[in-house]
Amino acid sequence: MQAIAKVILFGEHSVVYGKKALAIPIKELKLRVKKQEGKCYQDEHVEYIKGLVNLKGYLNVQSNIPISRGLGSSAALSIAIARLAGADEKIISTLAEKKAHGNPSGIDSAVISTEKALVFQKGRENIYIDKKIGAYLLIMDSGIQSSTKEAVENVKKLNRMDLIDELGDITEKAIGHFMHDNVYSLGTLMKKAQNILVKLKLSNEKIDRIVKKANYYSLGSKITGSGLGGCVISLFTSKKKANKLRKKIKKEGVVNSWIVSV
């Protein structure tokens, strides 16, 4: 069984406080699990999920979704194992994500389970979006592991609801532009969102360098996911332009990158 990755375009962190978030599935990145005869290493989280679904034996896990980079690797793992066991993937993923991250929004599980773009808001019905906007994203892995639990706690301690409200307002505008294919406006909003994420102390020196260079070639760039490392995304009108940055950005220490259609 397998599960895919996801990218949050807008709304990370503000979604924890009841604001909307816009996220898309990344079908180019996948995690696969299968039963394996004989012993192999199983980490603590795999064992926990196996316990939830009452699955015996060993599992072979293969994935090109980088771990702790904001792309939903932990949600993909729980969903893939739930599918293998024939269990309720929503329930299993919710429990496993709480174990891994403390107070997750639930957006990762929703996108990865349905493999559809969506507008997510806690306590509200998900709005699924079955469309593309004719653009491309370059996803750049900084090589720095991020901790959702740590990032969420840090934002909580800052207690800057003014910045959370700003992120929420940006996401509301972004959803409208996404629905109307306003790619250039989305790029501008990505830059604005990144400035706020920096104020929330979710960036670092390496991320700042990547974003600065990426903005020179793209319509806009920002952290995706919890921050404190992880991945940066950049928006483009063509795959050719995305490829140009992909070649240039290696000098900033990007360890891997992927171009996906949006």
Query: In whole angstroms, what is the distance from residue 115 CA to residue 98 CA?
Result: 21
Q: Per-residue pLDDT for 102 more than 80?
A: no
Domains and CATH numbers, the chain: 2-129 (3.30.230.10), 136-261 (3.30.70.890)
Maximum mean pLDDT: which of 36-40, 100-104, 171-175: 171-175
Q: Per-residue pLDDT for 114 more than 80?
A: yes
pLDDT in tens, 148-195: 888 989 999 999 999 999 999 999 999 999 999 999 999 999 999 999
pTM: 0.91
Partner residues linked to 106 by β-bridges: none
Q: Which long-range contacts (CB under 8 A, 24 or more apart) does 54-58 make?
A: 54/85, 55/81, 55/84, 55/85
- Polymer length in residues for the chain: 262
Partner residues linked to 231 by β-bridges: 141, 224
Using DSSP, state whether 106 is helix, strand or coil: coil
DSSP 16: G
